[in-house]
């Protein structure tokens, strides 16, 4: 992959996650500012936390492409918001699938950047999971919903799997393109199966307290 490929991959992830923030805003009946806000925090939240933990300035500080993408996606979604919010169940399904795609892309992008930092391979997997999930956590909290990571959803597991596959293929000498496609496919595949078949992880028995 060329030197621009990781950046393009991250921008795609930003756009997809910004869409999930926008769809959440549509379901909540927010104004244009709400759309732009949820789109932006969802799109750049995970990458920002990753960069800070890596001791690097957040990428959007010097290159505002990410926030610009988020705001464009947010405002564009607002224009069709009445149509989306009119079918809340359909909007929720679209949100889940878009979120799964964003999760897969960001899991690999996060691990990719962590390895380049450089970081230990295991740490890179952790960074992949953080990058893929933190923006969604902020989105759900601002929207007044329980974050997906705190539900029984197979969510962080899918992100960690995708990041792990990418790191493993990278360590095995696979090309960047093959490692990226492998990681994204595994993360999205597991998340897609969980959504389609309603898979969830076992929970700890409630003590009733």
Q: Regarding predicted confidence, which is higher, 147 or 209?
A: 147
Confidence of residue 93 (pLDDT cuts 50, 70, 90): confident
Q: What backbone torsions phi and psi does residue 141 show, to the nearest 5 degrees? A: -65, -45
**The two structure tokens encoding residue 25:** 């805003």
**Which among 2-11, 65-74, 146-155 has the top mean pLDDT?**
65-74
Q: What is the pTM of this model?
A: 0.89
Q: DSSP string spanning 170-197?
A: HHTT--HHHHHHHHHHHHHHHHHHHHHH
Distance CA 173, CA 171 (A): 5
In tens, the pLDDT along 53-71 reads 999 999 899 999 999 999 9
Q: Where are the domains of the chain?
A: 5-197
Q: What backbone torsions phi and psi does residue 88 show, to the nearest 5 degrees? A: -60, -35
Q: What backbone torsions phi and psi does residue 200 show, to the nearest 5 degrees? A: -150, 160
């Amino acid at each position: 992959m060329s030197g621009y490929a990781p950046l393009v991959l991250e921008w795609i992830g930003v756009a997809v996650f910004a869409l999930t923030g926008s769809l959440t805003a549509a379901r909540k009946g927010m104004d244009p500012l709400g759309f732009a806000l949820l789109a932006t925090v969802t799109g750049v939240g995970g990458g920002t936390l990753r960069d800070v933990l890596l001791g690097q300035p957040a990428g959007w500080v010097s290159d505002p492409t990410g926030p610009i993408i988020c705001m464009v996606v947010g405002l564009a979604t607002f224009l069709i918001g009445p149509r989306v919010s009119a079918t809340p169940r359909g909007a929720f399904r679209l949100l889940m699938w878009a979120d799964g795609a964003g999760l897969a892309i960001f899991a690999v992008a996060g691990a990719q950047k962590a390895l380049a930092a450089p970081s230990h391979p295991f740490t890179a997997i952790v960074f992949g999971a953080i990058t893929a999930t933190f923006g969604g956590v902020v989105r759900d909290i601002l929207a007044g919903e329980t974050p997906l990571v705190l539900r029984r959803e197979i969510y962080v597991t899918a992100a960690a799997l995708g990041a792990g596959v990418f790191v493993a293929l990278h360590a095995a000498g696979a090309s960047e393109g093959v490692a990226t496609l492998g990681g994204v496919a595994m993360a999205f595949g597991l998340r897609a199966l969980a959504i389609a078949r309603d898979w969830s992880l076992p929970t700890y028995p409630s003590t009733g307290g």
